[in-house]
Structure 1
Amino acid sequence: MKYFSLKDKSHSSTFENAVLKGLAPNKALYFPEVIPKLPKSFFERLNTLSHTEIGFEVIKQYVGDEIPVSELKNIVEKTLNFDFPVVPVEENIKCLELFHGPTLAFKDVGAKFMAGSLGYFLKKGNVGKITVLVATSGDTGGAVANGFIGVEGVDVVILYPKGKVSDIQERQLTTLGKNIMALEVDGAFDLCQDLVKQAFQDEEIQKERQLTSANSINVARWLPQMFYYFLAYKQLPSEEKKLVFSVPSGNFGNICAGFLAREMGLPIDHFVAANNANRVVTDYLETEKYEPKPSVQTVSNAMDVGNPSNFVRVQELFNNEFNGLKSNLSSYSFDDETTKAAIKDVYGRTGYTLDPHGAVGYLGLKCFLNQHPEYNGVFLETAHPVKFLETVEEATGDQLDLPSSVKDLLNLEKKSLPIKDYKELKEFLLK
């Protein structure tokens, strides 16, 4: 499989190069030259396949022969070694829980797959030491830190916005030590993301460090998110109603992977991009004007993105044609008060506990189903409610039980380096 730059389609890359570089020239994202179709026989036997078998069949076309079959199966097995249950919440609405991994967030899948892929390429010996430079709005940092901890030949540098991630999220990325370093940025996530992109274009830094990114801009982080949709579909009963997935959306890597799964043949009829107050895509679908804006801080902080990097990939899937995209994607935006009210309402009526991101996904699905009752709906619960303890407990009125992994975190010391601008990031990277 080859990959092209979304800013220069004449630029071609292997999977390995796209993983190692993270970004194409001119800060562009890589995109697969071909989206393969899975055979009908794969879907006919989907119910009999294991997590590993499903993941391997989905991802192998995108990797090609650049990772041997046995090694790739091993990477997928380690990536998908936890559960992805689909849970009924109320009539016609189910929840796909993506928080059963080591850092209690959906990004564990992409981080573990990328760590395995990068680890293999480093073992080949063609590459020296590499620095994974990543910005996080909440969950990416912890997942990347956990995925890459102790990986030989890899240093990890994580930029996160000061005061804009939850306490548990911050602890997950600042307490591991070893080859993990956290930089606390005086600004919003968009600044963190801009600083990362700037570093990738800095020739002085490139001479001293080989950089790659572990945000969903990296194909090895982005593509494995397709697994969610195949594993969910396996659990759904055969029904005549159409199927819609509602995805809490920040940087739009997750929902873009869902569209990619559909292109490969998975029978999903529609998607909902559920936004918090950061509603760039919601506004775009209403006005046809795409206008990135400074991000706004919310209780669903992993979605606090004012300029979602992966939306250009979504547009590419629809040949940058607005009407085609609009007929396949709906989007709704919800403020914090509505989000917290949904957590309280769903818990009171059903006993199910939503985190703020799942609550936004639930609200988006409810809006869509109210207008389109002919659909069955699944929303994604992307993080464990305990990661947003104060918000969830205030909304439900009940205390949450802390998983043992979280209890252990509370006893560890947080260590981070404060920075405020690109000059300070560059100085750190060149030290």
Structure 2
Amino acid sequence: MTFYSTNRQSADMSFSEAVIKGLPQDKGLFFPKEIPVLPASFFEALPELTLAEIAYQVLSPYTTPDLTADQLKTICEEVFTFPIPLVEVEEGISALELFHGPTCAFKDVGARFMSRCLQAFSTSGNPVTVLVATSGDTGSAVANGFLGVANIEVVILYPEGGVSDIQEMQFTTLGQNITSVAVKGTFDDCQSLVKQAFSDEELSKEMQLSSANSINVARWLPQMVYYFHAWGQWRKQNPAADASAVTFAVPSGNFGNLAAGLLARQMGLPIANFIAATNRNKIVPDYLETGIYAPAPSVATIANAMDVGAPNNFPRILELFGNDFDALLQVVKGYWTDDEPIRSVIREVNAQGNYLMDPHGAIGYMSLKKYLPEFKTAGIFLETAHPAKFQQSIEAIIGTDVALPEQLQAFLNKPKHSLSIKNDFSELAAILQEQVKL
């Protein structure tokens, strides 16, 4: 499989080249040259397949020939080692719990897959520096996915004061090959600095940079796997239902997760509708309503992982629909909400059904409550992070303590190590150049 740039000004690349490069030189996004459609036999067998088996069949067309069959099978077996259960919250609505991995967030899937791909591809002796911006969960997932991986250094940019305490602990207490950098600015500023680094000719001569945000194809593509898995589990639970009578509500910030679900749909997964569910950073819902795409400075919300004013992955969604606005509207609906309704619904659902949602999953749940009467389908919302990752906020909402899972307790009371810079590319460049000298 080869990958082209959505801006169509850079040369096509193989999977391994696209993974290492991260971003095309023309500042577009890598996109697969072909989208294979999986056979009917795969969907018939899907409810009984393991996550690793699903991953191998779904990802094989994109990684061949850069990864051998044995390499891909090994990677899938190493990555998909934790459960991703589909849990009924109320009749007709289920949560896909994506928080049972090492850092209790959905990004464990993509970060772990990418780390193993990059390890397989970086055998030339030239060190690779993974540069990533995070609004919370990406940083912890990438840091833990790449911790101790030989020949790879990781530099994580995050908005100073813009992530939860537990999220920050998960990537600032590790040391080894992980460097954390607090930026005096927003997540969008961090993201902009990353883009500047990738387009800087001097840096590209001095070092081999790669990105681990969902803009990287090795982070983006494996997210398809849990959509196939969720549908398979739903079919197993509802064998008499229409195979396509399900809607996915996707909490969305950078929109890589939604783009992966839509790619799964083009591979044949029979999903009726998707909802792009977000907070006050409602760039995409506004676009779906008006047809005008207008990125704006991000604003801080209780659902901080979605505080993104310029979603990096949205061009992939447009590419999937051939930039046909009407075709996009047939499949994707937009939804946004403010902080107070999020608090209210977390409190209400926890009290009534004893199910505790995090702020991001809560937005997905709310979007289903709005649209399901119109769609007349079952609904699945992605519960993208464990509520305990937002311990202070959730405890204030429900009025009781939230126990930390074992994975998160491991980071408590460890000393934090973090550099601090202004929103200034020259300061970031100096840190990256120092990495070359190490």
> Normalising by the residue count of structure 1, what TM-score does the alignment of the two structures yield?
0.98
Equivalent AA in structure 2 for residue 89 of structure 1? V
Unaligned runs of 5+ in 1: none
CA distance in 2: counterparts of 1:405 and 1:213, whole angstroms:
25
Q: Which secondary structure does the structure 1 equivalent of 2:176 belong to?
A: coil
Identity %: 53
- Matched with 2:115 is 115
Equivalent AA in structure 1 for residue 220 of structure 2? W
- Matched with 1:400 is 402
- Matched with 2:153 is 155
What does the per-residue CA deviation read over 1:368-392, in whole Å, with 9 as the maximum and x for residues that have no partner? 11333x1110000000000000111
Equivalent AA in structure 2 for residue 144 of structure 1? V
Equivalent AA in structure 1 for residue 196 of structure 2? Q
Q: Which secondary structure does the structure 1 equivalent of 2:182 belong to?
A: strand
What does the per-residue CA deviation read over 1:151-205, in whole Å, with 9 as the maximum and x for residues that have no partner? 0000000000011100000000100000000000000000000000000111111
1:100, distance to aligned residue in structure 2 (A):
0.2
1:111, distance to aligned residue in structure 2 (A):
0.2
1:47, distance to aligned residue in structure 2 (A):
2.2
Alignment equivalent of 1:187, drawn from 185, 188, 192 = 185
CA distance in 2: counterparts of 1:137 and 1:180, whole angstroms:
17
Q: Establish whether residue 273 from structure 1 lines up as the match of residue 276 from structure 2.
A: yes
Where in structure 2 are the equivalents of 1:17-36 lying within 5 Å? Answer: 17-36=17-36
Q: Which secondary structure does the structure 2 equivalent of 1:156 belong to?
A: strand
Where in structure 2 are the equivalents of 1:310-329 lying within 5 Å? Answer: 310-329=313-332
> Normalising by the residue count of structure 2, what TM-score does the alignment of the two structures yield?
0.96
- Matched with 1:331 is 334
Where in structure 2 are the equivalents of 1:2-401 lying within 5 Å? Answer: 2-8=2-8, 11-123=11-123, 125=124, 128-236=126-234, 237-238=238-239, 239-240=241-242, 242-372=245-375, 374-401=376-403
1:70, distance to aligned residue in structure 2 (A):
0.9
What does the per-residue CA deviation read over 1:399-427, in whole Å, with 9 as the maximum and x for residues that have no partner? 11112222221120111000111111011
CA distance in 2: counterparts of 1:9 and 1:294, whole angstroms:
27
How many residue pairs match? The answer is: 428
Equivalent AA in structure 2 for residue 333 of structure 1? W
* TM-align CA RMSD: 1.0
- Matched with 1:429 is 432
What does the per-residue CA deviation read over 1:245-272, in whole Å, with 9 as the maximum and x for residues that have no partner? 0000000000100001111111101100
Deviates more, 1:42-51 or 1:11-20: 42-51
Unaligned runs of 5+ in 2: none
CA distance in 2: counterparts of 1:247 and 1:260, whole angstroms:
14
Q: Which secondary structure does the structure 1 equivalent of 2:403 belong to?
A: coil
User: Contact 2:10–2:25 at 8 Å: present in 1 too?
Assistant: no
Q: Which secondary structure does the structure 2 equivalent of 1:7 belong to?
A: coil
CA distance in 1: counterparts of 2:357 and 2:400, whole angstroms:
13
What does the per-residue CA deviation read over 1:42-62, in whole Å, with 9 as the maximum and x for residues that have no partner? 111112322111110000000
CA distance in 2: counterparts of 1:27 and 1:196, whole angstroms:
11
Q: Which secondary structure does the structure 2 equivalent of 1:297 belong to?
A: coil
User: Contact 2:25–2:198 at 8 Å: present in 1 too?
Assistant: no
Where in structure 2 are the equivalents of 1:407-426 lying within 5 Å? Answer: 407-420=409-422, 421-426=424-429
User: Contact 2:10–2:24 at 8 Å: present in 1 too?
Assistant: no
Q: Which secondary structure does the structure 2 equivalent of 1:292 belong to?
A: coil
Equivalent AA in structure 1 for residue 71 of structure 2? E
Q: Which secondary structure does the structure 2 equivalent of 1:155 belong to?
A: strand
Deviates more, 1:152-161 or 1:421-430: 421-430
CA distance in 1: counterparts of 2:369 and 2:416, whole angstroms:
39
Q: Which secondary structure does the structure 1 equivalent of 2:350 belong to?
A: helix
1:9, distance to aligned residue in structure 2 (A):
6.3
What does the per-residue CA deviation read over 1:300-322, in whole Å, with 9 as the maximum and x for residues that have no partner? 11100001011100000000011
1:231, distance to aligned residue in structure 2 (A):
1.0
1:11, distance to aligned residue in structure 2 (A):
2.5
CA distance in 1: counterparts of 2:5 and 2:51, whole angstroms:
31
1:10, distance to aligned residue in structure 2 (A):
6.6
